[in-house]
Amino acid sequence: MYLAHTLAIKPQYGVKIFFKIYIMIDKSKMKCNAPQRTPSHPTKSHVVKACANGTEKIIRFGEQGAKTAGKPKPGESEAMKQKRESFKARHAKNIAKGKMSAAYWADKVKW
């Protein structure tokens, strides 16, 4: 699995050069069931090595840059409560599948 980092170089002539560096994510070095942020991934905000019943699976989840409700906070708005409830209701079937589903991890980490 690769992680991309974009670099911008400004030479003295005022021309910007962009290029990507890909960093390999080693599945064997990742801890089981420990989500990590992936700020340089173009679409997904987190990655986790899900381990259950002797199987391992890399799961990417969460929309990059999404304004999620986060964990419940005292005095939060009704809109945020509704947003959280809607997500949990909409994805309840997939959340129930457990650690091997992206919905489970999104619920646990982002909602």
Alpha helices in the chain (DSSP H): 78-90, 92-95, 102-109
Given this model, what pLDDT does residue 61 score?
94
Stronger pLDDT, 105 or 68, i.e. the higher one = 105
69 with 109: CB under 8 angstroms? no
Q: Say if residue 100 is exposed, middle or buried (CB neighbours under 10 Å; 0-12, 13-18, 19+).
A: middle
Whole-number percent of the chain with pLDDT over 70 = 77
pTM of the predicted model over 0.85 = no
Tell me: the pLDDT tens digits for 17-72? Answer: 555 555 667 888 999 999 999 888 889 999 999 999 999 999 999 998 887 777 77
